Amino acid sequence: MDPDGQPGVALDVAVEAGDWPEAGALETLAAKAAGAALAAAGEPVPEGAELSLLFTDDAAIQVLNGRWRGKPTPTNVLSFPQGGGPLLGDVVLAAETVRREAALARKPLEHHISHLIVHGILHLLGHDHEDDDEAERMEALERIALARLGIPDPYMASSER
């Protein structure tokens, strides 16, 4: 159990490609972000729950985005829910896009990575942002999770931070 009473989730973290922080630091960051996402969602997690996080590059995520979403372009994060059982699903992040977005927003890279992990895990739990109401609910959960990590609201303009 984590400090919030949530059952632990086994994380499988793999760095396939791209310029990412050191593997141990990335695993620690991922575990904290996953815990915050699950606590913010407030939904029961199956005993023995597992999820995988794949850190790769734009070329690899472009292939996945084209194959699974029909959008043959790089993106920052993709989520592949498993739809039941202890395996929650897979979250994939792309190094170049994540670094570029963090630099443009003038955010620490680790904050942006944490945000995208939280975002991806919320997708695994069934949250979405297809319409304005869904987007507002999902963003509210992201803000709660990131606040638990001491990360400022990612949706606030940088001049307001």
* C-alpha distance from residue 4 to each of 27, 39, 104, 121 (Å): 20, 7, 34, 17
pLDDT digits (tens, 9 = 90+) for 112-159: 999 999 999 999 998 888 888 888 999 999 999 999 999 999 988 654
Residue 130 forms part of a structural domain: yes
The Cα 2–Cα 12 span in angstroms is 17
Residue 138 forms part of a structural domain: yes
The CATH number of residue 65's host domain is: 3.40.390.30
The Cα 84–Cα 87 span in angstroms is 7
pLDDT digits (tens, 9 = 90+) for 87-119: 899 999 999 999 999 999 999 999 999 999 999
Total domains, the chain: 1
